[in-house]
Amino acid sequence: MQIADATILITGANRGLGLEFARAALARGARKVYAGARDPSRITLAGVTPLKLDVTSDEQVAAAVRAAGDVTLVINNAGIAEFGGVLADDSIDAARRHMETNFLGMLRMSRAFAPVIAGNGGGAFLNVLSVASWISRPQLAVYATSKAAAWSLNNALRNELHAQGIQVLGLHAGFIDTDMTRDIDAPKSRPEDIVAAGLDALERGASEVAADELSRQVRQGLGLDPAIYLQAVAA
């Protein structure tokens, strides 16, 4: 799918990776960019159309469909990431929060906008996943479970939407230099590099892209024996 002349809706577009997706879409000649955020007053990028959108709300997702019926590309970027392991005292509540946004939010948006995109002649979903879809560490273990679920959902969507002429692209990356990772001391990619890798892959017609060196190494390691996610136990 080409970005030029596309009508694009980006969730979580007020900051970080979502804001960079909006900038890049405009630079590549998108016809229109809807910038979704819980608080649309925080959308300050010139050239986009702010849209009140909380992906955990059925009502707001339905309202977004009514407001943005010309969409041909949805970028499911909205997500949360909290520190914590799966056996922590608050892990049940933390898992609910992560799944509600990172998994069910993506599912809500996909179910709502798949008929819109099909009715507009086809298009695409670009789903922001993570290297944590494939590998888990205690620091972000609950987050990782939600992203693993989102990866599986991404693959299911690809299978179900193929016949409707809708491309589904999963974008995996490690830590990205945004507000979400400011408290993490680790190498980080530039948001513009991750966005460029994602949009380039979309325009090539790809189904999956490992957007940085870490995610490429981890993906290759899935086929090792023992696989990289088993090796992580000893790390």
Catalytic residues: 143
Rounded distance, CA 100 to CA 143, Å?
11
Question: Which pair of structure tokens corresponds to residue 191?
Answer: 């948001």
Return phi, psi of residue 45, to 5°: -70, 125
Long-range contacts of 85-90 (CB under 8 A, 24+ apart): 85/138, 85/139, 85/141, 85/142, 86/141, 86/142, 86/145, 88/142
